Amino acid sequence: MKLAGLKSIENAHDESIWAVTWVPATETRQSLLLTGSLDESVKLWKPDELHNEGTNTGHCLGVVAVAAHPSGVIAASASLDSFIRVFDVDTNSTIATLESPPSEVWQMQFDPRGTNLAVAGGGSASVKIWDTATWELIATLTVPRPEGSKPSDKSGSGKFVLSVAWSPDGKCLACGSMDGTISVFDVSRAKFLHHLEGHFMPVRSLVYSPHDARLLFTASDDSHIHMYDADGKSMIGAMSGHASWVLSVDVSPDGAALATGSSDRTVRLWDLKMRAAVQTMSNHTDQVWGVAFRPPGGTGVRAGRLASVSDDKSISLYDYS
């Protein structure tokens, strides 16, 4: 497996780019790349030439998260202004505006069927779930204290939720916190199941394997990537190699590789059978906040594709094979 640099675009935004995801292909168009920046804008890009297809400027503070509905028709962007804007990808018309208190939206993801939007709730120590048919808040999954923490133990109660991921069957949801713990929930019962332990610094990104609803990959400021059996509560592997915080992780559509972005300014490709980094890409000149593999689908799309975004305001595209 390897990455080949395809194209990089400098100054893709006016400020740091903190968020990236792919909008799935529809019957009428190919997949698009969606980026969000501290310059308050969200941009859509054609996936081969990185041609800017549209710019949304509905926020009044930096954009910290973007998410795309599995249908490819709608997407959402979340900002430090405490609003989530849900919009039609092709027309840019606003479908819904969701409001939450300050510092309570950090990452978000639509479930695999597209019926719910999960939002990592920052200082509220919870994950909030919105119904995508009515855009009403239908559940708040509260992260409990770890066992053994005392009521006076500030680190035990001050769970700041940074990241969120759905299992591929949509039944479970995992979230990563500032203190390094990962919490797993049964969504249909709105029930906390257990914590996964092993990290000791913020978990800013996590992702389930697309082919195994038990297998969860996590990235942390402790510079390690962990593999967990999310049902069995056990860590089954750890990988290291980055020189600093690991800010973003994504798994390839074939489930064979991971990509990570780090504040050491590199993107790394990891072979999951070998549990080792097989390639390091140094396209960026500042920390890499996001990596995202393109989902499969779309006519005439053969090659795998990875995108990365950085504090250096640039976007890089790579072929994955």
- Please state, in angstroms and rounded to a whole number, the distance separating the CA atoms of residues 54 and 64: 18
Query: What pLDDT does residue 106 have?
Result: 82
Task: Record the tokens describing residue 152, joined without a space.
Answer: 């006076």
Whether residue 147 is predicted with pLDDT greater than 70 in this model: the reply is no
In a domain, 151, yes or no: no
Asked if 183 and 174 count as a contact pair (C-beta separation under 8 A), the reply is yes
Residue range 63-75: average pLDDT?
A: 95
Whether residue 156 is predicted with pLDDT greater than 50 in this model: the reply is no
- Please state, in angstroms and rounded to a whole number, the distance separating the CA atoms of residues 49 and 47: 6
Residue range 267-282: average pLDDT?
A: 94
- Please state, in angstroms and rounded to a whole number, the distance separating the CA atoms of residues 50 and 154: 45
- Which of 87-101, 136-150, 166-180, 292-306 shows the highest mean pLDDT? 166-180
- Which of 24-33, 51-60, 140-149, 151-160 shows the highest mean pLDDT? 24-33
- For residue 93, the tally of other CB atoms under 10 A from its CB is 9
Whether residue 45 is predicted with pLDDT greater than 70 in this model: the reply is yes
Query: Which burial class, exposed, middle or buried, applies to 268 when counting CB atoms under 10 A from its CB (0-12, 13-18, 19+)?
Result: buried
In a domain, 273, yes or no: yes
In a domain, 152, yes or no: no
In terms of residue numbers, what domain contains 253?
3-144+158-320
Whether residue 164 is predicted with pLDDT greater than 80 in this model: the reply is yes
Residue range 22-28: average pLDDT?
A: 93
Whether residue 200 is predicted with pLDDT greater than 80 in this model: the reply is yes
Query: What pLDDT does residue 117 have?
Result: 96
In a domain, 298, yes or no: yes
Q: How confident is the model at residue 152 (pLDDT cuts 50, 70, 90)?
A: very low
Structural domains of the chain, count: 1
Q: What is the pTM of this model?
A: 0.92
DSSP string spanning 139-157? EEEEPPPPTT--TT-HHHH
In a domain, 153, yes or no: no
Q: What is the CATH number of the domain that holds 227?
A: 2.130.10.10
Asked if 297 and 9 count as a contact pair (C-beta separation under 8 A), the reply is no
In a domain, 70, yes or no: yes
- pLDDT tens per residue, range 237-260: 999 989 999 999 999 999 999 999
- pLDDT tens per residue, range 77-111: 998 878 899 999 999 999 999 987 766 778 999 99
- pLDDT tens per residue, range 282-319: 999 999 999 999 988 766 666 789 999 999 999 999 99
In a domain, 91, yes or no: yes
In a domain, 310, yes or no: yes
